[in-house]
Amino acid sequence: MTIKLKVNREERSIDVDPDKPLLWALREDMKLPGTKFGCGAGLCGACTVLLDGQPVRSCQTPIGSVGNAAITTIEDVSSQPAGPAVLAAWQELDVPQCGYCQAGQIMTATWMLGEFPDVSPDDIDGMMSGNICRCSTYMRIREAIGQAAKTVRTGEKA
Amino acid sequence: MNAPAISRRSFIAASLIGAGVVAFDARLALGAPGDEAAGTVNAYVRILPDNRFVIGAKNPEIGQGVKTMLPMLIAEELDIDWDQVVVEQTPVNSATYGRQVAGGSRTTPTSWLLMRQAGAAARSMLVQAAAAKWAVDAGTLTTASGMVSHAGSGRSASYASLAADAAKLAAPALEEVPLKDEADFGIIGTSRMGVDTPAIVTGKPLYGIDTDLPNMAYAAIEICPVFKGTVVGFDEAAVKAVPGVISVVPVNSGLVEKGSFDALAIVADSWWTAKQARTKLNAKWDDAQFRKFSTDSYVEAAQAALAAPADGAIFKAGDAAAALKGAVKTVTADYDYPFLAHATLEPQNCTAQFDADGLTLWAPSQAPEGGRAQIAELMDLAPEAITIHLTRIGGGFGRRLMSDYMLQAAQIARAIPGRPVKLLYTREDDTAHDYYRPAGWHRFSAGLDEEGSIASFADHFVTFGEDGKPVRAAGLSEDEFPAPLVPNVDLSVSYLETNMPTGWLRAPGSNALGFVFQSFLDEVAEAAGVDLPTLMLRTLGEDRVFFPEKGAGAFNTGRARAVIEQVVKDAGWSHARPTPGSGKGRGFGFYFSHLGYFAEVLDAAVSQDGTITVEKVWVAGDIGSQVINPMNAMQQVQGSVIDGLAQAMIGQKIDQVDGAVVQRNFDGFPLMRIDGAPREIAVNFVKSQYSPTGLGEPALPPVIPALANAVYAASGKRIRSLGFA
C-alpha cells in the first residue's frame, strides 16, 4: 500500500507492506542506508532513528505505525538541536573505529543532549547503554558527549 | 643519475596519465635481496593538477585504521601536508599490491619501510626535476607542503607543476633513497582523524551492506543448523508462492564437499521479503552423523583426555615430572574457556553479479584474495574472471578472514545471471554460523625450587584437532611463556573431534592462552610468596632473545621487562601481596603477541553477591620506535582492553547441542555495553629502538588474566573457567 511519510524534513510516498520495519523501508525503499541493521531484535541500537525527536529502534517499528511522526535519520541529524555539536565532537575526537554502530550512537546522543544538556557521567552510561559498540569505542563516546554537552550548554556554534 | 629502473628489484615509475595528472607507481620488493619469492607490493601516488595527492590504501579497513595509517607513511616521506591527501582504496589484486589482508596485526610491520620508500622516491624525482629546470644542484633544494624551494634564488614550484618533468626521469633505486630522520617527522606520530570518519558520521554508504546496484535482488539464507549437514529437500513451491520471491538456490558454504549443498538461499526483490519467505522453506537436512557433538560431550571427553596420557608433545625440556617431585613447593590447577563468536556488528554479507564477463563481488572481506581462490576452486572459474571490490567493513575481529559469505553470494549470483544480488545474514544466522574461537582445557603443574624460581612447568592442553594436528586457531606453540625460560618443561596436547568450524578471533590463541598461563602463573607466584610482576621479572632473567630465527617475532626479555616495570610504576603497584578478600583488588597480566609487548594492571571491586566492577586499567605497551597515529592507537588499546573484558566477564560463550549452536542474538551472546566499560584506561607507550609493529591485537590478551588475578585479590576466588556472567 502507499504510505506517506515525513523523512528528514521531506514528504515521501512509498509503496510498501505496512508491516515492513521502518529500518528496511529506509534502507531499501527510501535509499537511506545510514541507518544500520545489527540485530533485528531491538538489542543493539544500530538502527536508532528519531521519531518526533525521540529515539526508536527502527527494526522494531512497522512502517505502517509511523503515521505523521517526523522521522530523522543520521543523514539529517544536523537538523536536530544538538546535532551539529555532536557531529563536531565525534569528528574532532575521531570516535569511530569500524564505525558501523556510530549512526545509532549519534542519534541517541543527539536526542539525549537535546533533552538533557546537563548529563552526568552516570546519566551518559545509562542512556547510551542501549547502543552497542562492538569495537568498544566507549571511552571516546563518553569524551565526545562531554565535549558536545559543553557546546550545547554554552550555546556556542559547533 | 641512476641505473634504469628495470634492473631494480624495487623501482618507481612516473607517468602522465592525462589531464595533467601524473602517477607515481612504486614497485617495492619484499623480503631480503635474492628472496624473489617474497614478492612485491605496489604503492601509488597520483599528483593532481591542483597539487593534491591521491594515495592508494591497499589493505582492508575493519576499524584498525590502516586506510589512514598507510597513506600517512607515504605522505610523510613525500613531504606533503595531510590536507593535500585524498585516500582511495586500491583494487583487490595481490599480484600488484602485495598482501591485502587485515590480519595478524601485520600491516604496520610489513609496510613501515616500503610505504616510506615509495613516498621518498617520488619526492626525490620531483626534486630532480626542479634541479634540472633551475640548473641547480639537487642538494640545494628543500621540500615542504608539496613544494620544492631553492633558498638561494627564492624560487619555488609546486609538485604538480614539476610532475610532468619528473615523469620523464629515470627512477632512483628505492633502497638508496634517503628517508627522513625520525626526529623530522611531521605526520608520523601525529594524530590524524580517520579518512572515512566524516562519511561515517553523516551516514554515507561505505559498508558491504550498503552496496546498492541497479536492478539488485536480495538474498536471505538458511544454513544447515548442524555444521556439515547437507540439504535433502525443501518446500520450493511454498517459498515461490510468496509475492516477490525470485528463486531458491542451493549453496555450498565451504564446509561440505564440492557438489553438495549445506545452505539454501531465498532470492527476492527485497531482503525483507526474502526473510519472510524463508519461514516457508521447511528445509530437510542430512545431519544425523554430526548431531553427536555438543558442549556436554566435549566437557566429558576433555575430562577423560586430561586423565589419560597426552596424544603428543609440543615442547619438552629436561624432566618436568622428576623436577616436580623434587620441588620445594608445587601448584596444580585446571583451566578452561569456551567457544566464542566474533559478533561483528555488521552481519555477514556480500553482493555479487555474474555475467558473460565473469563474476564481480562487493565484499567486506579481511582476506579478499582467499575468497577469490576459494570461489575459483569451488565454482570452476578462472581467478582472473573474478573481480573483487573491497568495501569498508563493519567489524572484522578475524571473522572476515573466512570467505563463506563470498562463496555463497557467488553461487547465488550465478543462479540469476546478469542481475546483482546482495546476500545478508540475520543476526541469528551470524551467531549460529561463525568460525568460532575454539574452546580449550588445560591441566597445569609447576614446581618451585628453594629460591622460589620455577624449576618445573607442565601443561596438558586438550584442544580440537584432526589427524594429530590442531584445527584452525586451536594450537599451542613451543615458545609459550614461560616454557623457554624454565629448565624442566612438558607442554603436551590431546585432541578432541568436533564439527564446529573454528577460526581466528582477535589475538587468536593468545586471547585464551594469555588468560590461562598468566592466571596460573599468579598462583605460582603466590606459592612463591611474591607478586606476579616479581615472578615474571625473576623468570625473564637477563635481557636476551629467544627463538631469534623468528626475527621480529622472537621473544625479547628486555622488552618484556621494560613494559612490566613501566606499568608497575604507572599504577603504583605494591609488590606486597595483600591478603585476598577485602572486596577490592588489583591484578597484573603480561603478554607478548603480534610483535607487541603489553603489561597491564587492573583494579576491580567484587561485591558480596559476586558482581565484578572494573574500576581502572593501566596499560604499558611496546610496539616499537613510533606510534604512527596516536589518536587511533589509543582507541585500539582501549577497545582491545574492553573487548578482552567482554570475553571474560559478561557471559560470552557459544554452546552446542545436537551439533548446532544454541546462542542466536545479543541476548544469548552479550556484547559489552558502555555501562560495563571501565571509566578509566590509562595507556603508556614505551618507545623502543625497534621497527613499529601493529596494534589491532596485542593489547587484548593481558587484560583477561589481569582481571582474573584482580578478582582473586579482591574476593579470594580464582577464576579458572571463563563464560560466566
Residue B55: DSSP 8-state: E
CB contact under 8 A, A132 and B194: no
Is the pLDDT reported for residue B7 higher than 60? no
**CA end-to-end distance (rounded Å), chain A:** 42
Is residue B37 very low, low, confident or very high in pLDDT (cuts 50, 70, 90)? low
- How many helices (DSSP H) and strands (DSSP E) are in chain B? 17, 31
Which pLDDT score, from 0 to 100, does residue B9 have? 55
pLDDT at B4: 36
CB B85 within 8 A of CB B194: no
pLDDT at position B5: 35
- Determine contact: A140 vs chain B, CB below 8 A: yes
Strand order in the sheet with A10-15: A10-15, A2-7, A70-72, A48-51, A54-57
Q: What mean pLDDT do residues B393-421 have? A: 98
Per-residue pLDDT of B485-507, as tens digits, reads: 999 999 999 999 999 999 999 99
Give the rounded percent of residues in chain B with a pLDDT score beyond 70: 96
C-alpha cell at B631: 589518536
- Residue A15: other Cβ atoms inside 10 A: 8
pLDDT at position B30 is 58
Q: Considering only the beta carbons, identify the residue of B212, B345, B677 that sits closest to A38.
A: B345
Are A97 and B272 in contact (CB < 8 Å)?
A: no
Instruction: Return the ∠ at Cα B522 (arms to B518 and B528), rounded to 5°.
Output: 135
Q: Which three cell numbers stand for residue B214?
A: 541497479
Banded model confidence at residue B105, pLDDT cuts 50, 70, 90: confident
Query: Dihedral, CA atoms, B187, B192, B195, B199, nearest 10 degrees?
Result: -160
Task: Indicate yes or no: CB of A136 within 8 angstroms of CB of B677.
Answer: yes
**CA gap B642, B708 in Å, rounded:** 14
Nearest residue of chain A to residue B644 (CA atoms): A136
- Return d(Cα B75, Cα B119) in angstroms, integer: 6
Mean pLDDT of chain B: 94
Number of Cβ within a 10 Å radius of residue B189: 16
What strand order describes the sheet that includes B85-89?
Answer: B11-16, B22-29, B40-47, B53-57, B85-89
Q: Do B677 and A46 touch (CB under 8 A)?
A: no
Q: Closest Cα of chain A to B215: distance in Å?
A: 12
pTM: 0.96
Q: What is the predicted pLDDT for the residue at B2?
A: 38
B666 with A91: Cβ contact below 8 A: no
Quote the percentage of chain B above a pLDDT of 90: 86
Could A134 and B344 be called an inter-chain contact, meaning their C-beta atoms sit closer than 8 Å? yes
Residues of chain A with pLDDT under 50: none
Tell whether the model's pLDDT for residue B41 goes beyond 70. Answer: no
Helices B510-528/B703-715 angle, 10° precision: 40
What pLDDT is recorded for position B335?
A: 98
Reported as a single tens digit per residue, the pLDDT across B174-207 is: 788 899 999 999 999 999 999 999 999 999 999 9
User: CA torsion sign, A85 to A89 to A92 to A96?
Assistant: negative
Pick the more confident residue, B127 or B174.
B127
- Taking residues B323-349, report their average pLDDT: 98
Q: Write down the pLDDT at residue B1.
A: 35
Residue A14 CB-half CA count within 13 A:
22
pLDDT of residue B173: 79
Q: What is d(CA B75, CA B63) in angstroms, rounded to the nearest whole number?
A: 21
Measure the CA dihedral B98/B104/B108/B114, to 10°: -30
Which ranges in B363-417 belong to alpha helices (H)?
368-379, 404-415
Average pLDDT over residues B294-317: 98
| A103–B contact, CB cutoff 8 A | yes
Contact between B14 and B178 (Cβ < 8 Å): no
Q: What is residue B29's predicted lDDT score, i.e. its pLDDT?
A: 62
CA–CA separation, B333 and B354 (whole Å): 56
Check CB contact under 8 Å for B203 and A32.
yes
CB pairs under 8 A between A and B: 177
B588: three-class secondary structure by DSSP: strand
Contacts of A99 in chain B (CB under 8 A): 63, 194, 196-197, 200, 206, 392, 394
The region that residue B632 occupies, defined by phi over 0 for left and psi between -120 and 50 for alpha, beta otherwise, is alpha
- pLDDT of B709 > 80? The answer is yes
Give contacts of B642 with chain A, Cβ < 8 Å: 136, 138-139
Asked if the Cβ–Cβ distance from A34 to B346 is below 8 Å, we say no
Number of Cβ within 10 Å of residue A75's Cβ equals 19
Helix (H) or strand (E) holding B445: strand B440-448
How far is residue B158's CA from residue B144's CA, in Å, rounded to a whole number? 10
Question: Is a pLDDT exceeding 90 seen at residue B17?
Answer: no
Closest CB from B392, B395, B666 relative to A43: B666
Q: Do B198 and A91 touch (CB under 8 A)?
A: yes
Question: Is A128's Cβ below 8 Å from some Cβ in B?
Answer: yes
